[in-house]
Structure 1
């Protein structure tokens, strides 16, 4: 059984989607018209600083991922489940026909703008904690009472991201090292994603989503919040809102799909982040990565079931 998985923010790089222009020029053009700038040029030529701005990054990754997805589906490969890491859940929703690509570009642009303005620069931050038990890290976060910090991404065994006030993240990082974390890596982000500091913008985002019509999904979407599958339009919409201020339970999402019989994961979009995480969650499953047309040719040669 095959699952399609889609990457989130952090997977972007200058040059992504370069070989897609011939087959997906229409998508880049449509997205560019919605956004008001040349998206293909930004993806392929940069500059990196502009591509890294969250309101640009989100529709850019979505467009490249969807362009690749369209080619994968056209090749005759289809999934039993779909899932995405944070932003990637929007590509999963487009894959399921929950909303159109055009609407997804507008929604991810708005999501990026709202996230950027959620907290003033420097107030919030995130850090990846490597090699520490989830329960210990949760206790550390709860022990810090003068600043807010909490678990944000439960990515794979030994890799958990914390998020919150910058001072809270610093304190938790120090305590994590004292408790035996192998390494703590501050993330190069200015936004404390997937924690309660995003609650206010989530409410604004929820109002914005009411402008769009949501359909039931053609494929079960395993959402980040509950790590369970749903095809229901309203449930998908609610999960996208909650995701802004709730932890991304990626490890649980992958385990859920494996428990339902998935043995092959195809990561569709820029980078290979999710393939690496999945291998650490369960080394016995097959993982493939499609971030170019050449990758798709290789995957098509495989005996996928």
Structure 2
């Protein structure tokens, strides 16, 4: 409404849906129906797994990169534990069974993790535990009208550009059980920003993503535009 033009869009986890809306792939009505269906399916799947296998959770690993965490977990062969979020070069989230997270904590601290922080979430999202929700979500996606993007959309599933409507549906379905590769998305966005002489901004609530961006040591800073006041102040800066 204020006339800003966007060179590209990307979103973290649930924010991927917002990025798809921003890029013209889906309208607001479709966006909200997707949010509702996605959350219900993921919650249902987490509850089913917890009833069968035990308490589930997630924890942030501070001080290690994704490749190090993934390799350490693979070598340790801890059942029911996965690297689920590649947040930055120094922050990774693991998810799975609570007892497996406790085992993983010891392994990763031995690898040099500075802190292991339990997260208040209701399930092991973005891991194979969510595969049971992928098929019904994919079927739901096929009933919706998606458009080809009118501007660049970078998926956090793999850091690649979404080229058309069908690829958008496939990525949203995959996203439930695949790790969030936010570091890859940030690399792509940073490269685009330099190429197009664009600025980078976090437009969602809070400052989590701008903080992760800062930790990535990108040449171009990321400003937080998560409030109406911040957006108006940014507009005034551009006009001065």
1:221 to 134, 153, 163: 153
1:246 to 178, 181, 192: 178
Normalising by structure 2, we get a TM-score of: 0.90
Partner of 2:237: 302
Report the Cα offset of residue 287 of structure 1.
1.8
Normalising by structure 1, we get a TM-score of: 0.72
Inter-CA distance 107–293: structure 2 relative to 1 (3 Å threshold): same
2:73 to 126, 141, 157: 141
Question: How many residues align structurally?
Answer: 231
Deviations 1:156-214 (A, max 9, x none): 12100011222222211121112221000011112101110001101111111112111
Partner of 2:189: 257
Contact between 1:144 and 1:168, CA under 8 Å: does it hold in 2? no
Structure 1 unpaired stretches of 5+: 1-73
Taking the TM superposition and a 5 Å limit, the aligned residue runs for 1:1-305 are 74-120=1-47, 121=50, 123-145=55-77, 147-260=79-192, 261=195, 263-303=198-238
Contact between 2:58 and 2:118, CA under 8 Å: does it hold in 1? yes
**What CA distance in whole angstroms lies between the structure 2 residues aligned with 1:224 and 1:266?**
16
Deviations 1:121-173 (A, max 9, x none): 45321110011243331122113445221111111121000112222222111
Deviations 1:72-99 (A, max 9, x none): xx11111111000010011111112211
Contact between 2:78 and 2:103, CA under 8 Å: does it hold in 1? no
Helix, strand or coil: the match of 1:301? Answer: helix
Inter-CA distance 272–146: structure 2 relative to 1 (3 Å threshold): closer
Deviations 1:19-54 (A, max 9, x none): xxxxxxxxxxxxxxxxxxxxxxxxxxxxxxxxxxxx
Comparing 254-263 with 210-219, greater Cα deviation is found at 254-263
Structure 2 unpaired stretches of 5+: none
Contact between 1:288 and 1:299, CA under 8 Å: does it hold in 2? no
**What CA distance in whole angstroms lies between the structure 2 residues aligned with 1:241 and 1:123?**
25
**What CA distance in whole angstroms lies between the structure 1 residues aligned with 2:218 and 2:75?**
35
**What CA distance in whole angstroms lies between the structure 2 residues aligned with 1:94 and 1:133?**
30
Inter-CA distance 284–166: structure 2 relative to 1 (3 Å threshold): same
Contact between 2:65 and 2:88, CA under 8 Å: does it hold in 1? no
Contact between 1:128 and 1:187, CA under 8 Å: does it hold in 2? yes
**What CA distance in whole angstroms lies between the structure 1 residues aligned with 2:218 and 2:9?**
20
**What CA distance in whole angstroms lies between the structure 1 residues aligned with 2:76 and 2:146?**
40
